Amino acid sequence: MTATDDTTDPELRQLYADFESENLNPLWTQLGDLMPMAPASRAVPFVWKWSTLYPLAQRAGDLVPVGRGGERRAIALANPGLGGVPYVTPTLWAAIQYLGPKETAPEHRHAQNAFRFVVEGEGVWTVVNGDPVAMRRGDFLLTPGWNFHGHHNETDQPMAWIDGLDIPFVHYTDTGFFEFGSDGVTDEGTPDISRSERLWAHPGLRPLVGLDRQTSSPIACYRWEHTDRALTEQLALEDEGHAATPEPGHAAIRYTNPTTGGDVMPTIRAEFHRLRAGAHTRPRRDVGSTVFQVFEGQGRFLLGGTEHLVGKGDMIVVPSWVEWSLSTDEGVDLFAFSDAPIVERLHFNRTHVSEGA
Task: Provide the sign of the torsion angle of the four alpha carbons 125, 65, 177, 118, taken in this order.
Answer: negative
Q: Residue 18: what are its φ and ψ, rounded to 5°?
A: -70, -40
* DSSP, residue by residue, 88-154: SSSS-EEEEEEE-TT-EEEEEEESS-EEEE-SS-EEEEEEETTEEEEEETT-EEEE-TT--EEEEE-
Q: What pLDDT sits at residue 6? A: 55
Q: What pLDDT sits at residue 357? A: 56
Run of H or E including 342: helix 340-345
Q: What pLDDT sits at residue 33? A: 85
pLDDT tens string, the chain, 357 residues long: the values are 444 455 688 999 999 999 999 999 999 988 888 899 999 999 999 999 999 999 999 999 999 999 877 789 999 999 999 999 999 999 999 999 999 999 999 999 999 999 999 999 999 999 999 999 999 999 999 999 999 999 999 999 999 999 999 999 999 999 999 999 999 999 999 999 999 999 999 999 999 998 999 999 999 999 999 999 999 999 999 999 999 999 999 999 999 999 999 999 999 999 999 999 999 999 999 999 999 999 999 999 999 999 999 999 999 999 999 999 999 999 999 999 999 999 999 999 999 999 865
CA gap 161, 96 in Å, rounded = 6
**Residues with Cβ < 8 Å from 127, sequence gap 6 or more?**
107, 133, 149, 150, 151, 152, 185, 186, 187
Q: Which of 219, 104, 95 is nearest to 151 (CA)?
A: 104
Q: What pLDDT sits at residue 3? A: 46
Instruction: Count CB neighbours of 279 within 10 A.
Output: 21
CA gap 100, 20 in Å, rounded = 53
Run of H or E including 265: none
Q: What pLDDT sits at residue 208? A: 96
